[in-house]
Structures are given as C-alpha cells and as structure tokens.
Amino acid sequence: MQKYCDVIILGGGMVGLSIAYQLVKRDITKNIIIIDNENELGKHSSGRNSGVLHAGLYYKPNTIKAKVCVEGAKRLKEWVKDRKLAINQCGKIIVPQKAHLDNQLDVIAERGKANGAIIEMWDEKQLRSLIPEAISATGRAIWSPNTVVVNPKSILKQLELELTDKGVVFLVGQKDWSTKPEHKKIILRNGGEITYGHLINCTGLQADRVAHNFGVGLNFNILPFKGLYWQIKTSCPIQPKTNLYPVPDLNVPFLGVHFTPSAESPAVVSIGPTATPALGRYNYKGLEGLEPLMACSSLATLASQYISNRGGFRRYVHEQALLVLPHLIHKAAQELIPSLKLENIEKSKKVGIRSQLFNHITQSLEDDFICLPGESSTHVLNAISPAFTASFALADLIIEHTGLISNQKIKDVNI
C-alpha cells in the first residue's frame, strides 16, 4: 500500500480526535489518517479519566491551560448537549481541608476570575445546603457552577463516528510503525507506506518517545503517575450531588483526592484519583506493566526531587504519593466528609495513568501543555489535565502551531 494524506495524527485519544475534528470543521482538510497502536480507542488517559469538564480555576494566568480551559469546556459542553450525550451539570465546591490552606482559596479564586471562570465565595451554610455532610476547616468554600461531569468514552465514540462519516481514516492496532521524517513517511508493520504533508504526535504516554524519534524534545521524559479510584457504595446514605474538592497543592499538577458524581443518573460517586508514581507507562494493574528501567529512573528522579524539595515536592510525597491503601484514601476523604466510614467505600475498577512530563534541564515537573515543532511535524507533550476539557480549544492552538491555517481564520470560526 502506498498512500498520501495531508495530515497524519498519531494517537486517537481526545487530543488527536479533537485536532482531526477541528481540521474537518474548518475545511482545512479531510484527508487525514489517524494511527493508534491499540485495537480500539480510549484505552489510555482519555478513556480512563474522571470526566470532569474543569471550569478553569487553578491555572496561572497566561499559561496555555489558562488560555484554553474555559473556552474548551464551553465548546465541549455544548457539543455534548447537542448530541444528547450524558452530562451531569452538578457544579463543584472546593474547601480548605486544613485552616492554613484558607488563603489558597483566594489564590484559586483570583486565578479563576482572571481566566474567565465564574466563581462564588460561599460560607458553611451554603456548603451544607448542597452537601450536608461536608466540612470546611475555616467555614469558607469556593462554588464553581460551571463545572460539569461527562462520560469520556461516549464522547470518544461519537467523535470517531462523526470523523469516519466525514472520510477520516482510522488505522488502529498499528503497533510497530516506523518513521522516516526526512521523507515525510510512516511505514506500517505490514510494509504499507504513508507519505504525509504534516504529522501531529498526540500519543499521550508515548509522546516523548515518539518526539525523540523526530529528534524533538530530547530534554523531556514522561514520569508517569497513577490515579487509583475508590467509590462510595450505593447503599451508603451519603451521596454528594456535586463535585467536592480539597484545596490542592498548587506546586504540583495534581488536584488531591476528591468526590465526583458520574455523568449518568443515578450517579456513582467516585473518590480519587490518587497520584502515586506508576513506575511504568501502562502499569495499570498490580505490577503487570512495571518497566524496570523506567521504575529505576523514576525513583531516582523522585528521590532527587524530594532531597532538593524543588517546588515544595516533599509536601506532595508526604500527602499524596503513598495514598494506595484503603485506610489512607479513606482518611483523605474524611478530611472533606468526616462521617464517611471505611465500610462506606469500595475500590473502583477505574485506574488511569497521567502522561506527566519531567524536564531534565530545569529538573522539574512540567505544569503546562507543551507543543514542539519538528520536521513537518508537531509534537504535543504533557497533555495532562485539563487537556480532555480543553481539547477543542487546545486543538485550535495546535493547528495554529502547525502552520496549516492562518491565525485569523482560527479566530473567525466557532466549535
């Protein structure tokens, strides 16, 4: 097989599908091939996340996250509603779990307002009116009415259907393709060759390795963090009807253990995700996916971060890194809902791994999305949360980066 396409997208997660969707929507091209190495879409982050469409509260103004989260959430929410997919418009509350974290509420509120998010400061009475069992260490809370919860897998499925309908080609199960960047070529395992105009790398947990094949982003490596979930048993009388989050450690890109009702009705309330070192990119279950080399280098990196305490890393280790045991996750949950008993919660089957990037030059975890140019190619790295939420707006920025469309044309068109 010899084929030409205008754009090859490597990785059929939410970022890759959103880029394809926006390329088609804007009439830039339909001559797109999406290559994924799994047999079906949604096997990694995009099919294994909390499904929260974030309202843009946490991100430092002027970061890419801050620029795309509010607009991306708005567009994706409308898209989901238009298609009558599951959505729980339940909002979100953030409470300080300890008194000394109270001033962080003001930082989050200021950032959120600067990013265009709608925020209200609530007192304990307002908090209890929504979740009677919840507490705030200082009586204050942030209310975010625009946070919603969706079903990520149903969104991926719908995008796949619509893109296929428009003529976009999906090649799944493509495990061992190789590349010749200088000839703009991808060679498939069966010998088939695809020549492309531009290639976009959105391979999530493999994005660093793929970028390295193009000589791009050599100072970055994925340092994967696992997110385990528990859930409240359906028999438990405590069932929060809205998202309930603690004040996060703003120095690390994790939001702390929180409660999230699912998109479906009646909702199942999940607790988590944790953020523990994964020691393997696909180490979802036990130690099945442990990568010994990666485990050694991850542990060495984490140890050096701990010793230098860069970005207050020790606080993350003490409070979040070891939350794998039921009684520890229960303790973290009790900081928000003290009356929740250990026997009220059970382990969920859901688990995801974050494609967190580590920068070997700055010796720190990257916080923002990163988009790097290569030869006739663009590489999307560190597509961590809220990349799912922001994907439609993030896709515009990435397309702009590829040079496939002028800036003005991007601004003129919506959804």
Residues that bind ligand FAD (CB under 6 A): 10-16, 35-38, 41, 43-46, 48-52, 54, 202-206, 210, 227, 273, 352-354, 383-389
Q: Using CA of residue 360, residue 373, residue 70, residue 264, what is the dihedral sign?
A: negative
Q: Cβ closer to ligand FAD: 14 or 95? A: 14
Q: Cβ closer to ligand FAD: 135 or 155? A: 155
Owner of token pair 């507490």: 135
Distance in angstroms (rounded) separating the CA atoms of residues 219 and 327: 38
Q: Cβ closer to ligand FAD: 37 or 63? A: 37
Bridge partners (DSSP) of residue 10 are 35, 201
Q: How far is the CB of 15 from ligand FAD (least distance, A)?
A: 4
Q: Cβ closer to ligand FAD: 140 or 184? A: 184
Q: How far is the CB of 69 from ligand FAD (least distance, A)?
A: 8
Q: How far is the CB of 197 from ligand FAD (least distance, A)?
A: 18
Number of Cβ within 10 Å of residue 82's Cβ equals 9
| Structure-token pair, residue 267 | 């909702």
**Position with the least CB separation from ligand FAD:** 13
Q: How far is the CB of 386 from ligand FAD (least distance, A)?
A: 4
Distance in angstroms (rounded) separating the CA atoms of residues 359 and 188: 31
Q: Cβ closer to ligand FAD: 68 or 340? A: 68
**Main-chain phi, psi angles of 325, to 5 degrees:** -90, 145
Q: Which residues, including other chains, have CB under 8 Å from residue 407's CB and lie 6 or more apart?
A: 400
Q: How far is the CB of 339 from ligand FAD (least distance, A)?
A: 26
Q: Cβ closer to ligand FAD: 209 or 241? A: 209
Please give the span between the terminal C-alpha atoms of the chain, in angstroms, as a whole number: 35
Q: Which residues, including other chains, have CB under 8 Å from residue 58's CB and lie 6 or more apart?
A: 108, 111, 112, 248, 250, 255
Q: How far is the CB of 100 from ligand FAD (least distance, A)?
A: 27
Q: How far is the CB of 146 from ligand FAD (least distance, A)?
A: 14
Q: Cβ closer to ligand FAD: 126 or 151? A: 151
Q: How far is the CB of 211 from ligand FAD (least distance, A)?
A: 11
Q: What is the 3-state secondary structure (H, E, C) of 234-299?
A: CCCCCCCCCEEEECCCCCCCCCCCEEEECCCCCCCEEEECCCEECCCCCCCCCCCCCCHHHHHHHH
Buried b (16+ CB within 10 A) or exposed e, 47-79: bbbbbbbbbbbbbeeeebbbbbbbbbbbbbbeb
Q: Cβ closer to ligand FAD: 108 or 135? A: 108
Alpha-carbon 83 to chain mean position:
22
